[in-house]
Structure 1
């Protein structure tokens, strides 16, 4: 496997592990109860950590399609979640998310960085890296 692919696998692993540890920090240490959409984002992110760990150990870049699919679904979920937090016209019609409203903002750094924004950033980085890996794999054939 080329160094480009190995570095890309490492990038996916580091980003997904950081996102996972960050979500656990917010819920387990800071005590922020996740809303339903946060749970969906976790359900999508956590397997990426396991998939990328095994892939990195095995030097298997063929998981790029899998991580691309997971991260695109996660990014769409995060974008929707972030939109209902920040866009007034969506807040009014947003679904009820159980005990914790999905429109709530536990953090709001610099006026725009919320937990769904952090998740969106991680998913976009993973997706971009996955598509890069697919391109490199195609070129190396």
Structure 2
């Protein structure tokens, strides 16, 4: 069996990059929809997660357009920091650290029932899932682009 060509590896990396960008774009647009259209004010931790997600949508979009498989070098630290904030927020949501969701008192609250998707997935957990997927995709891109 022959090794895949460099062009095939870049093509595959581009598809992974497209998926990462789509996740970041949908997450960013969803956050804007919840805040601006539905009128749900985000809590402080949600704002910090937005600080990391919104630039990812732009950076990954430009990288898709330019077919830049090296984007993982500067996008992964941003996604990783967003993941850490989302992890902390999720742990607060589940009451692992002290009282559940206390930091959400400033601004909106993530503990209300209208801050869940399908009545089951809380927004902090959904953010953690999206950041995790983006980090995994960027790590896969790094492996494909360095081979």
Per the TM superposition, whether the score is higher than 0.5 is: yes
**Deviation at 1:91?**
2.1
Contact 1:85 1:104 (8 Å CA) reproduced: no
- For the pair shown, the structure with the greater C-alpha radius of gyration is 2
Q: How many residues align?
A: 139
Q: What residue in structure 1 maps to residue 75 of structure 2?
A: 67
- With structure 2 as the length reference, what TM-score do the two structures score? 0.83
In the alignment, the residues of structure 2 paired with residue 35 and residue 41 of structure 1 have an alpha-carbon distance, to the nearest angstrom, of 10
In the alignment, the residues of structure 2 paired with residue 81 and residue 43 of structure 1 have an alpha-carbon distance, to the nearest angstrom, of 14
- Structure 1 window deviating more from structure 2 (100-109 vs 44-53): it is 100-109
**Deviation at 1:93?**
8.8
Q: 1:53 to 1:101 in 2, by over 3 A?
A: same
Return 5+ residue gaps in structure 2 as ranges: 1-6
Q: What residue in structure 2 maps to residue 22 of structure 1?
A: 30
**Deviation at 1:36?**
0.6
- The secondary structure found in structure 1 opposite 2:115 is coil
In the alignment, the residues of structure 2 paired with residue 96 and residue 6 of structure 1 have an alpha-carbon distance, to the nearest angstrom, of 38
Match of 1:121 among 125, 129, 133: 129
After the TM superposition, which segments of 4 or more aligned residues of structure 1 sit over 6 Å from their partners? Answer: none
Contact 2:101 2:111 (8 Å CA) reproduced: no
- The secondary structure found in structure 1 opposite 2:98 is helix
Return 5+ residue gaps in structure 1 as ranges: none
Q: CA RMSD in A?
A: 2.2
Contact 2:45 2:89 (8 Å CA) reproduced: yes
Q: What residue in structure 2 maps to residue 37 of structure 1?
A: 45
Cα distance per residue 1:27-49 (max 9 Å; x no partner): 11111101110000000000001
